[in-house]
Amino acid sequence: MTTQTVAPSPVYQGQFGEFTIDQSDRTGVIIYRTGLMVAALSFAVGSGLALFNNNPTAIQALTPLYTCFSLALGVSLLTIHIYMAPLHRLLQVFWLIGSICAFIFAHVDSHPFAVTVYTNPLTILGVGFTFAALTGIYFKEAFCFNRLETKALTFIVPSLLLGHLVGILPIQVEQILLGIWATLFLVFALRKTFQAIPADIGDKSVFAYLKAQRSAKM
């Protein structure tokens, strides 16, 4: 009988000591990236319907697509690796606030959810928290990996939402920005699938150090 030898996990040198990456770490990254891909695809399909197929059936379809986008984003926010725990929790709270607001807006108005948000810009003050959380992911990826598409998205997303909120953007500009957003979001999600998994895990010695610091203060 042949005994299969399992190769030991590589040992990495971190800022505060050595660490290894186990299967749980890798699974978390895969879930994070899968969530991003589902969110990007849902957002792209919804944006395409809004831009090129503006009929009642398409508008109705935006509600389940937004739900899928939001849930996938929530999964990614649960599994993303961010050194600063308070920032990580803040992004999750933003997502939760935005999700609750979206649920309320979708049920208090007889119009389709997308129509309610578009025709009532003040709803962005609630739903916008979800996109603030998404922008946090873009910023994190831009800062950590110097990605051009996430740098652009960090600027485009708040510009479009705030511009619509205060009514300063012509509809043609909003459509162009939405199209660019959907395209770059897909580019970002696709590029993540080819990135080495350890890069998304980061320096585990930093997480261990910060956890020890928090425990020492209790």
Residue 146: inside a domain: yes
Q: What is the pLDDT of residues 122-131, one digit of tens each?
A: 999 999 999 9
Model pLDDT, residue 34:
97
Q: Are 78 and 64 spatial neighbours (Cβ–Cβ below 8 Å)?
A: no
Model pLDDT, residue 218:
65
Model pLDDT, residue 110:
86
The span from the CA of 155 to the CA of 153, in Å, is: 5
Segments forming the whole domain that contains residue 49: 21-205
* Two structure tokens written together for 82: 């961010």
Angle, to 10 degrees, between the axis of helix 56-79 and the axis of helix 124-145? 50
Residue 2: inside a domain: no
Average pLDDT of 133-143? Answer: 96
Reported confidence tier of residue 145, pLDDT bands at 50, 70, 90: very high
Model pLDDT, residue 167:
94
The span from the CA of 157 to the CA of 129, in Å, is: 12
Model pLDDT, residue 100:
97
Model pLDDT, residue 132:
97
* Ranges assigned E (strand) in the chain: 11-14, 17-20
End-to-end CA distance of the chain: 53
Q: What is the pLDDT of residues 74-104, one digit of tens each?
A: 999 999 999 888 999 999 999 999 999 999 9
Q: What is the pLDDT of residues 160-207, one digit of tens each?
A: 999 999 999 999 999 999 999 999 999 999 999 999 988 888 777 777
C-beta neighbour count of 40 within 10 angstroms: 23
pTM for this one? 0.91
Residue 180: inside a domain: yes
For residue 68, give Cα distances in angstroms to 35, 63, 71, 76, 147: 10, 9, 5, 12, 25
The span from the CA of 160 to the CA of 116, in Å, is: 17
The span from the CA of 110 to the CA of 113, in Å, is: 9
The number of distinct structural domains making up the chain is: 1
- Whether 1 has a pLDDT exceeding 50, the answer reads no
Residue 54: inside a domain: yes
Residue 178: inside a domain: yes
CA angle 112, 116, 122 (to 5 degrees): 160
Residue 104: inside a domain: yes
Model pLDDT, residue 6:
46
Backbone angles phi, psi at 13, to 5 degrees: -95, 115
- The length of the chain is 218
Q: Tell me the pLDDT of the chain averaged across its residues.
A: 89
C-beta neighbour count of 32 within 10 angstroms: 21
Q: Which residue has the higher pLDDT, 144 or 39?
A: 39
Residue 4: inside a domain: no
